C-alpha cells in the first residue's frame, strides 16, 4: 500500500505543468538520496533512475565482492557467496549491481519519503505561484468569485490559485455573487507564513490605466501616453493623455465614436465618471483643462508654494468645485497644484467687504471665508449653508450666526 501511495505521489508530481523537467528530476533525486543516507549511512554507491514520463523509478546499489569472512560494511560490500547467487561468474573485487526494492526501506522510511516528496511538491507550487504573480504586479487578471466574506472576496484564477480582493480595494458600489467573473489588477504579492498571498485591486489608478490599454489600441501601441490618473473610485476620475502623433486626437481616441470606448470602462468601474484631458506642458492651460467643465476667466500661479488662484464668473464656481468638492480636488491632484477658486465679481455698490464686519465676526472666521474665495458679504451669501459647511472648517452654529449677521446687513 505504501509503495502504491508513493507512486501516486510521484505521478501527481510529474503531471504538474508548472514545474520544469530539470527541476523535477533534481528534486526527486534529492528526496530519494536523503532517505538512502538515513537508511544506509551513504548514498554514494547508489544509482537512481527516474522515468518522468511513466511516473516511476528504480534504485540500484553498487557493492564490491569480498570473501565471506572479510565483509565489514554490508552496504558497500557483498560476500562472494551472495554475489554468486545473483550471477555465478562473479569473482572477488568485482562490482555487483542489484536493484533495491522500495519495500526494503521499511514502512516508516516509505512514509517519510512520501511526506518529503509531497512537501517539496507544495514548496515548488508555492514558489511558482509567488514568482508568477510577482511578475504580474500591475497587470489585469480575470477570476471567478469563489467565496465572499465581510472584509474580502476570494477569487480563483483559471489554474485554481487563490487571489484576494480586500474590501478597501473594491469600488464602493461593487456587488459580486459566487460564480461571477471578476476583473482586477494585481496590486501586490506578500508572503504570510511562507504562503504566497496575491492581493487584487479595483480602486488602484493602475487598474484604470490597464482598462484604457485594453480598450484603446493607440495607448497599447504607444501612440498615446497616459501622463497621470487620479480617481475617487466609483465617483470620478481624471485622466491626462498626450499624443506623440499630431494626426491623433488623444481625447477623441480614448472616448471613441459616440463614447464607444469609454463606455466599456465606465461600466467596469460601476458608472465612475471619467474626464479625459489633453495634457499640456503649459501649466495655465493644463489647470484650465483639469477644471472642465468650468470656464475660467484668469489664473494666477504661485510656483514657490505650488498654488494656483483661479478666477471664474459666479455661475461657474459650482462647476469648478463639483459635487462635494470632487472636481477641484481631483484637478489639484492631477496638476500638482493646490487650486483656490475666486469669484470674479462685477462691482456692486451695495456689497460690503468682509473686513467691515471685524467688530462682529472674529478675524480667524473671516480668514477662513477668504481662503475659499469669499471677500465680500454677497460672496458668502451666494453660497448655500451646505456649501459653507463642506468648504470650511467652521462649526454649523458658527455658520448660522455668520449668515444671520451678513443677511441683517441687507435687510
Topology at the third CATH level for domain 136-203: OB fold (Dihydrolipoamide Acetyltransferase, E2P) (2.40.50)
Q: List CB contacts of 365: < 8 A, sequence separation 6 or more.
A: 394, 398, 402
Residue for cell digits 514568482? 131
In angstroms, rounded to a whole number, what is the distance separating the alpha carbons of residues 238 and 327?
A: 9
In angstroms, rounded to a whole number, what is the distance separating the alpha carbons of residues 99 and 160?
A: 40
Least confident range from 26-40, 46-60, 211-225, 372-386: namely 46-60
Q: By C-alpha distance, which of 1, 242, 29 is closest to 120?
A: 29
Question: In terms of pLDDT, which residue wins out, 22 or 355?
Answer: 355
Percentage of the chain modeled with pLDDT above 70? 92
Give the model confidence (pLDDT) of 203-241 as tens digits: 999 999 999 999 999 999 999 999 999 999 999 999 999
Backbone conformation region of residue 98, classed left if phi is above 0, alpha if psi is from -120 to 50, else beta: beta
Q: pTM of the predicted model, to two decimals?
A: 0.67
CA 123 to chain centre: 23
Topology at the third CATH level for domain 2-132: N Utilization Substance Protein A; Chain:P; domain 4 (3.30.1480)
| CA distances, 292 to each of 233, 320, 322, 325, 374 (Å) | 19, 7, 10, 13, 22
pLDDT category at 55 given cuts 50, 70, 90 is: low
Q: What is the predicted pLDDT for the residue at 1?
A: 38
In the predicted structure, residue 265 carries a pLDDT above the cut 70 = yes
In the predicted structure, residue 3 carries a pLDDT above the cut 80 = no
Give the model confidence (pLDDT) of 118-177 as tens digits: 787 788 888 889 999 999 999 999 999 999 999 999 999 998 899 999 999 999 999 999
In angstroms, rounded to a whole number, what is the distance separating the alpha carbons of residues 267 and 261?
A: 11
In the predicted structure, residue 16 carries a pLDDT above the cut 60 = no
> Selecting from 3.40.50.10190, 3.40.50.2000, 3.30.300.20, 3.40.50.1970, what CATH number does the domain 280-340 have?
3.30.300.20
pLDDT category at 2 given cuts 50, 70, 90 is: very low
In angstroms, rounded to a whole number, what is the distance separating the alpha carbons of residues 98 and 383?
A: 96
In angstroms, rounded to a whole number, what is the distance separating the alpha carbons of residues 401 and 337?
A: 33
Question: In terms of pLDDT, which residue wins out, 197 or 366?
Answer: 197
Amino acid at each position: 500500500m505504501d509503495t502504491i501511495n508513493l507512486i501516486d505521489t510521484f505521478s501527481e508530481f510529474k503531471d504538474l505543468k508548472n514545474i520544469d523537467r530539470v527541476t523535477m528530476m533534481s528534486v526527486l533525486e534529492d528526496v530519494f538520496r536523503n532517505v538512502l543516507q538515513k537508511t544506509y549511512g551513504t548514498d554514494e554507491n547508489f544509482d537512481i533512475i527516474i522515468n518522468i514520463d511513466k511516473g516511476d523509478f528504480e534504485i540500484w546499489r553498487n557493492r564490491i565482492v569480498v570473501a565471506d569472512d572479510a565483509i565489514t560494511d554490508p552496504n558497500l560490500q557483498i560476500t562472494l557467496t551472495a554475489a554468486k547467487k545473483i550471477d555465478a561468474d562473479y569473482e572477488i573485487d568485482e562490482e555487483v549491481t542489484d536493484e533495491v526494492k522500495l519495500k526494503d526501506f521499511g514502512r516508516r522510511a516509505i512514509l517519510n519519503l512520501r511526506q518529503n516528496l509531497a512537501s517539496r511538491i507544495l514548496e515548488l507550487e508555492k514558489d511558482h505561484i509567488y514568482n508568477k504573480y510577482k511578475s504580474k504586479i500591475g497587470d489585469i487578471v480575470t477570476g471567478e468569485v469563489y467565496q465572499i466574506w465581510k472584509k474580502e472576496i476570494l477569487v480563483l484564477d483559471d489554474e485554481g490559485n487563490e487571489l484576494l480582493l480586500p474590501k478597501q480595494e473594491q469600488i464602493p458600489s461593487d456587488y459580486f455573487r459566487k460564480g461571477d467573473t471578476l476583473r482586477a489588477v494585481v496590486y501586490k504579492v506578500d508572503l504570510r507564513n511562507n504562503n504566497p498571498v496575491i492581493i487584487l485591486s479595483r480602486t488602484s489608478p493602475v487598474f484604470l490605466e490597464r482598462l484604457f490599454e485594453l480598450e484603446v489600441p493607440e495607448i497599447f501601441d504607444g501612440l498615446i501616453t497616459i501622463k497621470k490618473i487620479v480617481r475617487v473610485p466609483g465617483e470620478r476620475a481624471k485622466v491626462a493623455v498626450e499624443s506623440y502623433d499630431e494626426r491623433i486626437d488623444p481625447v477623441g481616441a480614448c472616448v471613441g465614436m459616440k463614447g464607444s470606448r469609454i463606455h466599456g470602462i465606465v461600466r467596469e468601474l460601476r458608472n465612475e465618471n471619467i474626464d479625459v484631458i489633453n495634457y499640456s506642458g503649459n501649466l495655465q492651460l493644463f489647470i484650465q483643462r483639469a477644471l472642465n467643465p468650468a470656464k475660467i476667466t484668469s489664473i494666477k500661479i504661485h510656483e514657490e508654494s505650488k498654488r494656483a488662484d483661479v478666477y471664474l464668473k459666479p455661475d461657474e464656481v459650482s462647476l469648478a468645485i463639483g459635487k462635494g468638492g470632487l472636481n477641484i480636488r481631483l484637478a489639484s491632484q492631477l496638476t500638482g497644484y493646490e487650486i483656490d477658486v475666486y469669484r470674479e465679481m462685477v462691482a456692486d455698490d451695495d456689497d460690503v467687504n468682509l473686513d467691515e464686519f471685524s467688530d462682529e465676526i472674529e478675524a480667524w472666521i473671516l480668514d477662513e471665508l477668504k481662503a475659499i474665495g469669499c471677500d465680500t458679504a454677497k460672496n458668502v451669501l451666494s453660497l448655500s449653508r451646505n456649501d459653507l459647511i463642506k468648504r470650511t472648517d467652521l462649526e454649523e452654529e458658527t455658520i448660522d450666526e455668520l449668515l444671520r449677521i451678513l443677511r441683517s446687513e441687507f435687510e
